[in-house]
């Protein structure tokens, strides 16, 4: 067997006209005969709006022998990696005595910050730094992008959205600091070019390439051929799989843009976004998978929809807006529709997890080296409760975490205690407090 020295730097790129394509982790990037380097931990925070039906979410039994509830059933293939965490609150989402309305914006702003947002519809916004941005400060030292903020609703709603609370509180779950909310990017093309467009490239060049239907891979073909000639068989397979994924994502974006340019009825959503919600969701999550695969970033925040948004999900068989049916007031027909929406969303989560599981990363997969938080900033959408939130942690063994458990914590436990533990498991140092945290949260371990 021939053993060669490291020949390709970890941050190598394929370059061409108007494109710079980061590479996934290859064997040729690891020094020969050296110990396997630990893979970096990735963090993702995924929020669904308007609450979740807790009676169809929360398992009846605690520990390892819990039965999957109807909403969690689509995630059966990932049961061994799942921790269903009950009893966690975001106290800072509750109203103060002088505040009127604002249940949804306060919940959204507090979800990842544990901070009470200021009641304002002006520019003097205030909340707190979010856990994803605490991680981004550390991981951004090693990646081209400190973090990636993705949303599926337009971020350009301005003014007051509920009572005296500004729409900016709805538009994001990510806060760089107390006064700086980060916009969630909902345009697939913009995310793609942020990942693969060459920095400083003339926008006219990128436009010409797009109009000629030339993709990123066409632009870097010469570099691809040269690289493949240097690699062994296993690395060539990894490169081919990765490039196929890039080409497929770009094809789907181009198809959506072509459809948007035709003489069709006006569709909700930005240019380049597929009209069918599940296709839109899958496209954006595939972009996040590519971002992790290339180590362009290790932190993602994903906002599936705005609180109080008017989005409907015709794919589940009806056109009622999500927010409207959560205010069911005991109407069983509306309750049944909420349950269908909740299950539809966990089916989409299962797709995302499967893509991570099928993407190689070192001696395992991306899912093996990730911590993924999924839930909502409200538990009961009808009553606007911030207690006993729906919290699901997907852990592939990171930091010795043992999945396949339903854990119930004492009533009133701050959700930010979980965030401190997640940061510890992801090797983010020197974080002693976040928002209203009171300490670390104990998680089951192997």
Q: What is the pLDDT of residues 188-210, one digit of tens each?
A: 988 988 887 644 455 555 555 45
Ranges 1-15, 66-80, 180-194, 314-328: which has the least confidence: 1-15
Phi, psi of 336 (to 5 degrees): -60, -35
Query: What digits encode the pLDDT tens for the residues 385-410?
Result: 999 999 999 997 899 999 999 999 99
Phi, psi of 84 (to 5 degrees): -90, 115
Whether residue 1 is predicted with pLDDT greater than 50 in this model: the reply is no
Query: What digits encode the pLDDT tens for the residues 404-431?
Result: 999 999 999 999 999 999 999 999 999 9
Whether residue 3 is predicted with pLDDT greater than 50 in this model: the reply is no
User: In this predicted model, which residue has the larger pLDDT, 199 or 175?
Assistant: 175
Whether residue 35 is predicted with pLDDT greater than 80 in this model: the reply is no
SS3 content of the chain, % helix, strand, coil (to 5): 35, 15, 45
Phi, psi of 276 (to 5 degrees): -85, 125
Highest mean pLDDT among 166-175, 202-211, 232-241: 166-175
Q: Across residues 284-312, what is the average pLDDT? A: 93
387 Cβ neighbours under 8 A, 6+ residues apart = 89, 379, 411, 412
416 Cβ neighbours under 8 A, 6+ residues apart = 90, 114, 131, 434, 435, 436, 437
Please report the domains of the chain, with CATH numbers, ordered by start residue. 40-186+285-446 (3.40.720), 196-272 (no CATH)
Q: What is the pTM of this model?
A: 0.83
What pLDDT score does 257 carry?
63
């Amino acid at each position: 067997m021939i053993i060669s020295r490291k020949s390709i730097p970890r941050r190598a790129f394929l370059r061409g006209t108007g494109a710079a394509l980061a590479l996934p982790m290859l064997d040729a990037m690891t020094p020969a005969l050296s110990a396997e380097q630990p893979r970096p931990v990735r963090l993702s925070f995924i929020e669904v709006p308007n609450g979740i039906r807790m009676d169809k979410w929360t398992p009846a039994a605690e520990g390892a022998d819990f039965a999957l509830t109807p909403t969690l059933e689509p995630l059966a293939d990932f049961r061994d990696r799942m921790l269903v965490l009950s009893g966690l609150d975001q106290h800072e989402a509750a109203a103060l005595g002088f505040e009127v309305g604002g249940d949804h914006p306060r919940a959204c702003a507090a979800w990842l910050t544990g901070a009470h947002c200021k009641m304002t519809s002006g520019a003097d916004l205030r909340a707190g730094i979010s856990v994803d941005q605490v991680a981004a400060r550390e991981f951004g030292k090693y990646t081209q992008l400190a973090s990636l903020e993705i949303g599926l609703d337009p971020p350009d709603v301005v003014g007051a959205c509920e009572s005296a609370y500004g729409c900016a509180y709805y538009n994001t779950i990510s806060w760089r600091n107390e006064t700086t909310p980060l916009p969630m990017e909902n345009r697939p093309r913009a995310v793609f070019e942020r990942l693969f467009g060459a920095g400083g490239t003339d926008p006219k060049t990128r436009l010409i390439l797009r109009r000629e239907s030339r993709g990123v891979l066409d632009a870097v073909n010469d570099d691809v051929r040269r690289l493949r000639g240097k690699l062994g068989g296993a690395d060539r397979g990894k490169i081919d799989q990765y490039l196929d994924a890039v080409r497929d994502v770009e094809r789907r974006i181009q198809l959506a843009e072509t459809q948007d340019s035709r003489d069709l009825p006006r569709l909700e959503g930005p240019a380049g976004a597929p009209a069918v919600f599940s296709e839109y969701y899958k496209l954006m999550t595939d972009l996040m998978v590519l971002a992790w695969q290339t180590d362009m970033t290790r932190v993602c925040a994903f906002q599936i929809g705005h609180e109080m948004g008017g989005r409907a999900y015709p794919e589940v068989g009806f056109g009622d807006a999500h927010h409207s049916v959560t205010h069911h007031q005991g109407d069983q027909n509306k309750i049944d529709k909420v349950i269908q929406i909740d299950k539809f969303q966990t089916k989409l989560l299962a797709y995302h997890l499967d893509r991570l599981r099928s993407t190689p990363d070192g001696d395992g997969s991306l899912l093996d080296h990730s911590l993924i938080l999924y839930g909502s900033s409200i538990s009961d959408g009808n009553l606007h409760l911030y207690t006993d939130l729906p919290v699901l942690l997907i852990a592939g063994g990171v930091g010795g975490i043992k999945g396949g458990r339903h854990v119930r914590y004492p009533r009133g436990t701050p959700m930010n205690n979980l965030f401190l533990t997640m940061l510890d498991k992801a090797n983010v140092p020197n974080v002693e407090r976040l928002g209203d945290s009171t300490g670390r949260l104990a998680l089951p371990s192997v």
